[in-house]
Amino acid sequence: MSSAIVGWLVVIPISIGVSWLIWSIWDNNRKLDARLATGDMELLSSSSYKITEIVQAPAGSSIEKSTNQTLPPGTTGYIQQRLPDGRVAMIPVKAMSQPIQSVHSTMHTSQPPPKL
């Protein structure tokens, strides 16, 4: 009987703490969403949030980072390419002028390969 009471004395405070933590995170996210929706300019100077980028775009827009890197003809080296998961890949590049050749689709087997 006393072990059940001790168990409840441990479980109840832990449950209250976890419940409060979940509610606190939910409430902070709800308040942030409301401030963003109203365009609260105090968010920019707030010490509670780390602002890394500000983008002004119409509602429903999606923003994708893309970088175009060009190398002068005849140079070799590496370019950095940021992968979707945030890692950076170093891709070897040799810039040279090559004629563009059409390649037949491998999805349509009835299409004959091009004559080179």
Q: Is residue 78 helix, strand or coil?
A: strand
User: What is residue 108's predicted lDDT score, i.e. its pLDDT?
Assistant: 56
User: What is residue 111's predicted lDDT score, i.e. its pLDDT?
Assistant: 60
Q: Domain coordinates of the chain in residue numbers? A: 2-44, 64-98
User: What is residue 21's predicted lDDT score, i.e. its pLDDT?
Assistant: 96
The model scores a pTM over 0.85: no
CA gap 112, 75 in Å, rounded:
36
Q: Return the amino acid letter for 2.
A: S
Q: Is residue 36 helix, strand or coil?
A: helix
Q: Please report, in tens digits, the pLDDT of each residue of the chain (116 residues total).
A: 688 898 899 999 999 999 999 999 999 999 988 988 888 888 878 888 787 776 677 777 777 776 666 656 655 677 777 777 777 777 776 655 555 555 555 555 566 665 65
3-state helix, strand, coil in the chain (%, to 5): 35, 10, 55
Residue closest to 2 by CA, chosen among 47, 61, 98, 10: 10
